[in-house]
Amino acid sequence: MAVLREAPESQALPVRLGHLEALPDLAKAALAIAPEDNQRGSAVAFALFRLRNSKAVPALVEIASAPNVRIRQSAVHALRNIRSRDAVAALARALDDPDVLVRYHGAMGLAWQTDRMNPKWTLAFRPFSADPKPLVAKWKRWWESTGESKYASIEDVIRRSRIAGSMSGPDLH
């Protein structure tokens, strides 16, 4: 983590290059980055933004609760684009985030993960950001009535990952 304080790019670079063994250290560092630290937050966010490997899901689930908004945005964006049942609870939790982009990625991620990519369950960002409440409320109702009993909790995803001693999680497909 000292490396991240000095040069965030040096710790984020291996993850950007696809070396997922570096992700646990980056995850620990990401959770320690202050909300106002945009330089380090941006470096970590850039590394996370394009992750598409289901083995990264447990770490991303943890990172999605980071104090830095840029990191949360990128972690939830990555979860949105990885087809994994283990991403669903974190996407549902993102619906309560104070940042509208995190909530948007959460809602769109739920639509993608649950095969509901249609106008009834999705919106473009501009109309969503103008009034996110209706779509967020719809997804929260879905989570409480269906999703919560069907998908692993955040705690279960993290615990399973730690017990296995790896970063793997089941793929949705």
Q: What is the pTM of this model?
A: 0.83
In CATH, which of 1.20.1070, 1.10.1760, 1.25.10, 1.20.1060 is domain 2-164? 1.25.10
Are 71 and 33 a contacting pair, CB within 8 Å? yes
Query: How far is 50 from 129, CA to CA, in rounded Å?
Result: 23
With bands split at pLDDT 50, 70 and 90, how would you rate the model's confidence at 106? Answer: very high
The domain limits of the chain are 2-164
What integer pLDDT is reported at residue 15 of this predicted model? 60
In this predicted structure, the answer to whether residue 11 has a pLDDT above a threshold of 60 is: no
φ/ψ of 152, rounded to 5, equals -65, 145
Instruction: List residues bridging with 84 in a β-sheet.
Output: 171
pLDDT, tens digit (0-9, with 9 covering 90-100), for 30-49? 888 889 988 888 888 877 87
Query: How far is 107 from 150, CA to CA, in rounded Å?
Result: 17
With bands split at pLDDT 50, 70 and 90, how would you rate the model's confidence at 123? Answer: very high
- C-alpha 128: how far from chain center: 19
